[in-house]
């Protein structure tokens, strides 16, 4: 590997005077080259099940921008799909499951051979690894976040239903979380075996749990973290939850901060901090963007534990030329 800045920062020892960079959802619909590939496939899963397409989509942002990490092009919903739930991505609606706990309280997941059905992810991981000179990030949704999709069969619009379900059916909820948690351990274990250099866990819906976050989400994420070989860093993206609220309840020490968090509240602790740039800011004027890049570089290039990233995924409305301008500006300084 030629460029280890990102892994060094995860290990809190990036002593080169630079700012490692990658972006949540760095591949996707804001890139015309992604839309071109996507137009050939009526079905998102059909597209990602081709390892050569997956490799191509992973490499697209690396060709455009000076990035210090790649992330395998796949989705957090691969596990429920491999367990037999049909999932479609419908324009304007996001994911739509053919079955859900709401519609079918006896929803059964089919665990037999689920890991073999995910072979396409591991094959793509190997293929990507053979072609990149930066570290590769593997990922999974958290057990709770996958449960939220299985419960609603879509992205949730109100949070009361699931919060009353977990109160009335705690045993059933924990049983499903346990199964998902074990599957995720195997899934990320296989990604690591295929070459992933670190793992990011997306707890995109942990924020809706309020005081129940530790019991229904963090506990399982901690189990997953403990199952990892100590050499493989794990980054937690706890969207909608402040890291300071749960820091004492976890051994995890790499965090992707949400947009409303403050980097400076954590950067001098023994943690790796990634985030929290608001992707909406990519709409600012070029001169403002340059000033922000300069400010970020100035503040953080001496830190051994900082990674520039966004606090929520890049959205389709963002102009990739603005992203380019910003990242090139950070890079000019990086190579000084
Ligand atoms: O470069 C990358 O980061 C690409 C890999 C990636 C995708 N999804 C591809 C994708 C990653 C890391 C994800 C994570 C993901 N998927 C999350 C966690 C991040 C977060 O924002 O909280 C979540 C909640 C999902 C679930 C999901 N997948 C949704 C809600 C959608 C629909 C719309 C959207 O883009 O958000 C997807 C589909 C999906 N996954 C697309 C992409 C590029 C768009 C599909 C299309 O082209 O139609």
DSSP state letters, 270-282:
SSEEEEEE-GGGG
Angle at 210 between CA 181 and CA 218, to 5 degrees: 25
Substitution candidate for ligand 1 out of 21, 24, 28, 73 with most atoms within 8 A of CB: 28
Substitution candidate for ligand 1 out of 24, 37, 45, 76 with most atoms within 8 A of CB: 76
Ligand 1 atom nearest to CA at 91: 48
pLDDT at 333: 67
pLDDT at 259: 97
pLDDT at 336: 46
Cβ(153)–Cβ(81) under 8 Å?
A: no
Confidence bin at 61 (pLDDT 50/70/90): very high
Q: Is the CB of 44 under 6 A from ligand 1?
A: yes
Ligand 1 atom nearest to CA at 145: 24
pTM of the model: 0.97
pLDDT at 317: 98
Angle at 197 between CA 184 and CA 136, to 5 degrees: 100
Share of the chain above pLDDT 70, in %: 99
Cβ(58)–Cβ(26) under 8 Å?
A: no
Pair of tokens at residue 336: 């000084």
pLDDT at 92: 83
Instruction: Using the mean position of ligand 1's atoms as its centre, give its distance from the Cα of residue 46 in Å.
Output: 15
Q: Is the CB of 89 under 6 A from ligand 1?
A: yes
pLDDT at 2: 84
Substitution candidate for ligand 1 out of 38, 91, 313 with most atoms within 8 A of CB: 313
Q: Is the CB of 75 under 6 A from ligand 1?
A: yes
Coil vs helix vs strand at 236: strand
Q: Is the CB of 221 under 6 A from ligand 1?
A: no
Angle at 88 between CA 82 and CA 180, to 5 degrees: 35
pLDDT at 111: 87
Average pLDDT score over the chain? 96
Kindly report the protein residue whose alpha carbon is nearest to atom 36 of ligand 1: 94
Instruction: Using the mean position of ligand 1's atoms as its centre, give its distance from the Cα of residue 303 in Å.
Output: 30
- Least confident range from 36-50, 89-103, 264-278: namely 89-103
CA-to-CA separations, 97 to 5, 180, 205, in angstroms, rounded: 39, 17, 17
pLDDT for 149 beyond 80: yes
pLDDT at 334: 59
Q: Is the CB of 71 under 6 A from ligand 1?
A: yes
Over residues 157-187, the pLDDT tens digits come to: 999 999 999 999 999 999 999 999 999 999 9
Q: Is the dihedral of CA 195, 138, 226, 7 positive or negative?
A: positive
Q: Is the CB of 204 under 6 A from ligand 1?
A: yes
Q: Is the CB of 60 under 6 A from ligand 1?
A: no
pLDDT for 17 beyond 50: yes
pLDDT for 146 beyond 80: yes
Residues with active-site annotation:
25, 29, 38, 75, 149
**Mean pLDDT, residues 205-226 taken together:** 97
Over residues 84-138, the pLDDT tens digits come to: 999 999 888 899 999 999 999 889 899 889 999 999 999 999 999 999 999 999 9
**Mean pLDDT, residues 13-41 taken together:** 96
Percent helix, percent strand, percent coil in the chain, to nearest 5: 50, 10, 40
Angle at 143 between CA 140 and CA 178, to 5 degrees: 130
Give the span between the Cα atoms of 323 and 283, in whole angstroms: 9
Q: Is the CB of 279 under 6 A from ligand 1?
A: no
**Mean pLDDT, residues 11-39 taken together:** 96
pLDDT for 204 beyond 70: yes
Instruction: Using the mean position of ligand 1's atoms as its centre, give its distance from the Cα of residue 147 in Å.
Output: 16
**Mean pLDDT, residues 246-251 taken together:** 97
Coil vs helix vs strand at 163: helix
Cβ(58)–Cβ(128) under 8 Å?
A: yes
Pair of tokens at residue 99: 């079955």
């Amino acid at each position: 590997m030629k460029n280890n800045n990102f892994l060094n920062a995860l290990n809190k020892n990036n002593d080169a005077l630079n700012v490692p960079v990658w972006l949540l959802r760095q591949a996707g619909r804001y890139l015309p080259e992604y839309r071109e590939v996507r137009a050939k496939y009526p079905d998102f899963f059909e597209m990602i099940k081709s390892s050569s397409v997956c490799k191509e989509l992973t490499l697209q942002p690396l060709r455009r921008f000076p990035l210090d990490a790649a992330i395998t092009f796949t989705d957090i919903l691969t596990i429920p799909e491999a367990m037999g739930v049909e999932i479609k991505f419908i324009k304007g609606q996001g994911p739509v499951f053919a079955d859900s706990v709401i519609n079918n309280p006896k929803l059964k997941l089919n665990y037999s051979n689920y890991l073999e059905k995910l072979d396409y992810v591991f094959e793509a991981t190997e293929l990507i690894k053979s072609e990149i000179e930066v570290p590769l990030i593997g990922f999974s949704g958290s057990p709770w976040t996958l449960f939220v999709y299985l419960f609603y069969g879509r992205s949730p619009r109100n949070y009361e239903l699931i919060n009353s379900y977990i109160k009335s059916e705690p045993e059933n909820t924990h049983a499903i979380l346990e199964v998902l948690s074990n599957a995720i351990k195997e899934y990320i274990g296989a990604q690591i075996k295929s070459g992933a250099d670190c793992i990011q866990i997306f707890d995109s819906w942990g924020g809706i749990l309020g005081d129940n976050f530790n019991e229904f989400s963090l506990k399982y994420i901690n189990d997953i973290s403990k199952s990892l070989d100590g050499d493989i860093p794990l980054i937690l993206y706890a969207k909608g939850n402040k890291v300071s609220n749960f820091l004492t309840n976890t051994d995890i020490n790499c965090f992707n901060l949400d947009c409303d968090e403050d980097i400076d509240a954590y950067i001098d602790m023994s943690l790796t901090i990634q985030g929290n740039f608001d992707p909406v800011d990519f709409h600012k004027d070029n001169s403002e963007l340059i000033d922000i890049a300069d400010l970020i570089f100035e503040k953080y290039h001496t830190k051994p534990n900082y990674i520039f990233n966004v606090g929520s995924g890049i959205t389709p409305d963002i102009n990739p030329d603005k992203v380019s301008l910003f990242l090139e500006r950070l890079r000019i300084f990086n190579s000084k």
